[in-house]
Structure 1
């Protein structure tokens, strides 16, 4: 795939609480660096995996509207990567209709690259998804920090 025509899409979804209100966000960058972002509150509640799928579809619609044909998708959702990129059998049966809808949308592109990243590397999309409900970015561990163990 030529980097000259590669668009980059970062997407993230949030559900607060989980399940709860869904926030969706997508940040699309053209090969020339032009940035397009969209965030919205989904009208119904759902789980975080549902929100991640809906955020992906929001981003795919944006990419199609801007004429993208080759796309690198950056996400912190292992569910998206496992079930859409790797083609694993879905373990969350109630998500099957959304997964199929996402697969149909992905088929509209010439090439797709998947890039799983930790949440702190998907910070812009995360902040936009949570921001639709007036929330700040989700706190995370600092890189290199260790979890404290509780003594029983």
Structure 2
């Protein structure tokens, strides 16, 4: 599995977000997937059971990756962003200490990412993840 350091001309741009209220509590997840060459866009938000904020963020990332699998074609590249440093560092293996409780999520996300040869996963501050964040906050 390899994270590209930069993909300025990626075919797909994707964003995910997850939250729970209270924490732990009810999870809600959202994602946006946009194919830049055609302008085609997919977005969703839904409830995702019970858990904590890391559960919600990981569920959002995995749901986004599964949606990406449905639309991806060989040779395309995808740039994925999220505002959870915990999840992104965990997936990339840069966390100082990987959380054992997140291992199943991490393995699933890494397995899906391994099927995409050209991808970048990066953290962005919440204010730069507005589209997914706004979807997340819409009423269920």
Relative to the length of structure 2, the TM-score reads 0.83
Structure 2, gaps ≥5 residues long: 1-6
Structure 1, gaps ≥5 residues long: 134-152
- Compute the RMSD of aligned alpha carbons: 1.9
Q: How far does the alpha carbon of each residue in 1:117-139 deviate from its partner, in whole angstroms, 9 at most, with x for none? A: 11111112112223254xxxxxx
Q: Which has the higher contact order (CA 8 A, sep 6+)?
A: 2
Relative to the length of structure 1, the TM-score reads 0.77
Q: 1:74 aligns with which of 75, 81, 92?
A: 81
Aligned to 1:39: 45
Q: How far does the alpha carbon of each residue in 1:5-58 deviate from its partner, in whole angstroms, 9 at most, with x for none? A: 52111000011111111101110010223211011101x210111111110011
Q: How far does the alpha carbon of each residue in 1:77-136 deviate from its partner, in whole angstroms, 9 at most, with x for none? A: 101221112443654221111111111111111121122111111112112223254xxx
8 Å CA contact retained: 1:41, 1:132: no
Structure 2 CA distance, aligned partners of 1:82 and 1:67? 24
Q: 1:20 aligns with which of 17, 25, 44?
A: 25
The answer as to 2:98 corresponding to 1:127 is no
Aligned to 2:3: none
8 Å CA contact retained: 2:16, 2:57: yes
Q: Secondary structure at the match of 1:18?
A: coil
Aligned to 2:95: 88
Structure 2 CA distance, aligned partners of 1:90 and 1:53? 17
Structure 2 CA distance, aligned partners of 1:20 and 1:130? 15
